[in-house]
């Protein structure tokens, strides 16, 4: 679907796009192909698409994959997509993708490939990543700042809770910038497509994930404070001092200085006490 086709549909149907829903549609065919290529979509793949809009990405996903589950919150778009596509490989649902991500669903053999609406991108990614049966690959177009947070490393300005919640389960595999001119309407921010691959070997047992999340959120609750002082709200000071010494973490260290591996080690140490 070209830009001219999109504009024609909107004019003919007298539709106004809703900014609160993040309706900035990617129309550049080269960029759409790059996204699908990055996900290495093939005939045996099950693909989850969030926010298909008018279906430019959906069209290519249907050509290459075995099955596409597309979730769209705008009923007008759902009606249009049902008229446009009659492919039996498409399961089109009118609903809230975040609510779907929170359901107990086995995504372990799925790929998420989507131009995520900026307003819900982070919550959807976190919910899917924290699922016990998380997708094996996620290739998503995001606001540049959010993508930078996903790829950040310790002592980086973008490093924080989102970084750690995602990188516990996923490894950033690659990325490329998508100019704002490739979208309609043109957004105010730059975008980046990032590929996240599920870790072949989990860094933590699943039963310790909740503890990891608790530690990370407490450690970053006041970014400029020493992490030890923040963690004392939940754990005994003498226990923390012993563990910090054993892990060679300075007692005055702030959370942004600790690597993912150090947070994993801290989680294991507190879980074993």
Sign of CA dihedral 211, 217, 222, 225: positive
CATH class assigned to 3-198: alpha beta
Task: Give the side-chain half-sphere CA count within 13 A for 126.
Answer: 14
pLDDT value for 164: 98
Just give the CATH number of 206-272: 1.10.8.100
Exposure string of 155-187, with b = 16+ CB inside 10 Å and e = fewer, is: eeebbbbbbbbbbbbbebeebeebeeebbbeeb
pLDDT digits (tens, 9 = 90+) for 59-97: 999 999 999 999 999 999 999 999 999 999 999 999 999
d(CA 261, CA 256): 13
Kindly tell me the number of DSSP H helices and DSSP E strands found in the chain: 12, 9
Residue ranges per domain, the chain? 3-198, 206-272
> Average per-residue pLDDT in the chain?
95
Q: According to the model, what pLDDT value does residue 117 have?
A: 86
| pLDDT tens string 198-232 | 999 999 999 999 999 999 999 999 988 999 999 99
pTM of the model: 0.94
- The span from the CA of 103 to the CA of 80, in Å, is 27
Cα torsion at 53, 110, 131, 140 (round to 10°)? -40
* Closest residue by Cα to residue 206 from 256, 133, 260, 273: 133
At 227-269, the pLDDT tens digits run: 999 999 999 999 999 999 999 999 999 999 999 999 999 999 9
Inform me whether the pLDDT recorded for 118 exceeds 90: no
Q: Are strands 67-72 and 90-94 parallel, antiparallel or unpaired?
A: parallel
22 has pLDDT over 80? no
Which pLDDT band, with edges at 50, 70 and 90, does 16 fall under? confident
């Amino acid at each position: 679907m070209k830009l001219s086709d999109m504009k024609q549909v909107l004019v003919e149907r007298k539709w106004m796009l809703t900014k609160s829903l993040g309706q900035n549609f990617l129309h550049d065919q080269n960029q759409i192909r790059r996204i699908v290529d990055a996900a290495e979509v093939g005939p045996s793949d099950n693909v989850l698409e969030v926010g298909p809009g008018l279906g430019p990405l959906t069209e290519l996903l249907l050509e290459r994959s075995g099955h596409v589950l597309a979730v769209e919150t705008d009923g007008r778009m759902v009606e249009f997509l049902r008229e446009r596509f009659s492919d039996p490989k498409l399961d089109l649902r009118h609903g809230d993708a975040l609510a779907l991500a929170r359901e107990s669903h086995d995504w372990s053999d799925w790929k998420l490939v989507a131009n995520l609406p900026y307003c819900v991108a982070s919550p959807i990614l976190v919910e899917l990543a924290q699922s016990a049966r998380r997708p094996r690959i996620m290739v998503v177009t995001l606001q540049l700042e959010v993508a930078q947070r996903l790829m950040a490393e310790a002592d980086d300005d973008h490093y924080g809770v989102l970084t750690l919640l995602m990188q516990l389960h996923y490894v950033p595999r690659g990325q490329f910038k998508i100019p704002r001119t490739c979208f309609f309407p043109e957004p105010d921010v730059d975008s980046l497509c990032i590929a996240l691959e599920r870790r072949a070997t989990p860094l933590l047992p699943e039963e310790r994930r909740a503890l990891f999340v608790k530690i990370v959120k407490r450690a970053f609750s006041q970014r400029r404070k020493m992490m030890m002082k923040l963690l004392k709200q939940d754990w005994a000071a003498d226990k923390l001092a012993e563990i910090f010494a054993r892990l060679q973490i300075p007692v005055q260290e702030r959370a942004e200085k600790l690597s993912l591996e150090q947070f994993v080690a801290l989680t294991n140490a507190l879980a074993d006490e």
